[in-house]
Structure 1
Amino acid sequence: MVVIPTYVFAAATVEVKVDDDEFISRTVSTSVGSSVHWSRAAGSDGDHNIRQNGDHNIRQNNGIFASGAPTDGPINFTKTFSAGTFAYQCDVHGSSMSGTVKVKPKISAAPPGRPFTVTWASASTDTGAAFDVRYKVGSGTYRTWKNNTSALKGVFGTGGSPVNVRSGKNYTFQGRSQTSNTAVSGWSPVSSFKA
């Protein structure tokens, strides 16, 4: 009998401390399916909370996530992220107590000139139920690939859709997450793949 081990890889969790008038680890970069956990730093006081304040250049919104009303008690708040840039702040302190979570899409390896998979969310994501994904080839302009899709990933180049993947070309992707027409993240940092 041959036993083949099964490995389950847990997504990473990044810790952010809520301190007196600041978030410690103000800017966090992580991957799709990873979590960010906010907790009150030992010895801190004052009323604080965490609220994603959206990208007001795209749509006015009230945010994709919030920890609740400001409190001087314990803070224990976790979100599992999809692709996007998520600016957040404390309601009491506004932009003087703010931070950002940056999550770029994942791209799987593929043989040169072949279709490849782009992942912008995971089954455990709780920062969006619909997603927009855009791409560009080389130094060209961004074009929409997926708009308001509930899919978590897609195969780029299958059947020439949206374009035929060509060996030696560079493909760049960005994603953003949304819960409705009024709650949307900013565009993610870029992920690139050379076919």
Structure 2
Amino acid sequence: MEKREWRRRILERRATVKDPQGAAAAIRESLLDQPWVQMAGLVACYWSFGTEPSTHGLVYALWKHGATVMLPVLRPDNDLDWAVYDGPDSLAPGRNGLLEPVDTRRGVDAIRTAALVIVPALAVDRTTGVRLGRGGGSYDRALARVGPNVPTVALLHEGELVDGVPAEPHDQPVRYAALPSGIVRVGRVEAAT
């Protein structure tokens, strides 16, 4: 099955998700319980839209707990610039109507300084960690800039952690999938040294 068909099926299924607010709350609480989330001083996240698992409460909670939260700003070339979230009033409609922070842009490389990176996904392959996005390549470019020891987490609805996500050479894996049922380490686990 091609990526386009995967996207169509997942988006169709997402339209029928029961209790999306409860699912978002469960994901938020699971993440906030993790020491590696609690210790992250600078977090790169995103402001969800549509049928994505909501990040609104998560972003707010991270900010209220003292983390600096950067959100993406979509550039004309579909790469992601970053700006700091400073509360609910710090967002305004950007390109394509997506809410973006109004703070000073920090550049595409700002994500290199994040201690935690949270990204959207339609699905994640449990074996490889490859995520299926919406097809613009924005997050693959951003993830390519993230250091190898930084936790990268994709937020998913139940049933979206799967086997066999179609992958291309530019696709970047994540290390964790956060679902309402909990957080799952994905991809190949490095051998202990």
Q: Shared fold (TM-score greater than 0.5)?
A: no
TM-score (norm 2): 0.27
Structure that is richer in helix per residue: 2
Bigger CA radius of gyration: 1
TM-score (norm 1): 0.27
